[in-house]
């Protein structure tokens, strides 16, 4: 049995299969996932698990070079934006309309659904390299 890091077997497998510049998305309970995009549903109840809990867990194993967020998070959920910035302090952020972020989920290796219930708590992580 794995002792540390990502213990969810589906999430661990997706992260292990990521290459440079591949995309992985994590989001709130209400985010629509495009047909054909792998959905890993971790939601068990409202706020369980939270978006930040899942993001922090993924960051234990995934090197991230850039993130993509919805423009709307700036006004509609500034506290979550600050949490994300603290978790990824030296990572470039690209903002886009929420409608575009939803479309771009189709380009991700998977979407990890959390129990998050705050607006615009969605992110696309672009993997970096460790060498």
How far is it, in rounded angstroms, from Cα 37 to Cα 113?
12
The pLDDT of residue 96 is 98
Q: What is the pLDDT of residue 72?
A: 98
The pLDDT value recorded for residue 2 is: 87
Question: pLDDT value at position 82?
Answer: 98
Stated pTM of the model: 0.97
Which residue ranges of the chain lie beneath pLDDT 50? none
The residues annotated as belonging to the active site are 20
Interatomic CA distance for residues 114 and 30, integer angstroms: 9
Helix (H, G, I), strand (E, B) or coil at 112: strand
Closest CA to 124 of 116, 106, 115: 106
pLDDT score recorded for residue 70: 98
3-state secondary structure of 60: coil
Cis peptide before 125 (omega within 30 of 0): no
Per-residue confidence (pLDDT) for residue 1, from 0 to 100: 85
Within 10 angstroms of residue 71's Cβ, the number of other Cβ atoms is: 15
Token look-up 């899942």 returns 54
* Angle of CA points 19, 113, 47, to nearest 5°: 135
């Amino acid at each position: 049995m794995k002792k540390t890091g990502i213990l969810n077997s589906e999430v661990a497998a997706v992260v292990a299969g990521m290459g440079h510049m591949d995309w992985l998305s994590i989001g709130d309970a209400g985010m629509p996932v495009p047909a054909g995009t792998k959905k890993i549903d971790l939601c068990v109840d409202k706020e369980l698990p939270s978006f930040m809990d899942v993001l922090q867990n993924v960051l234990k194993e995934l090197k991230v070079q850039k993130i993509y967020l919805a423009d709307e998070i700036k006004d509609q959920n500034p506290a979550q934006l600050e949490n994300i910035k603290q978790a990824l302090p030296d990572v470039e952020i690209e903002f886009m309309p929420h409608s575009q972020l939803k479309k771009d989920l189709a380009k991700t290796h998977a979407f990890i659904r959390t129990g998050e219930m705050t607006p615009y708590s969605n992110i696309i992580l672009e993997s970096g390299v460790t060498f």
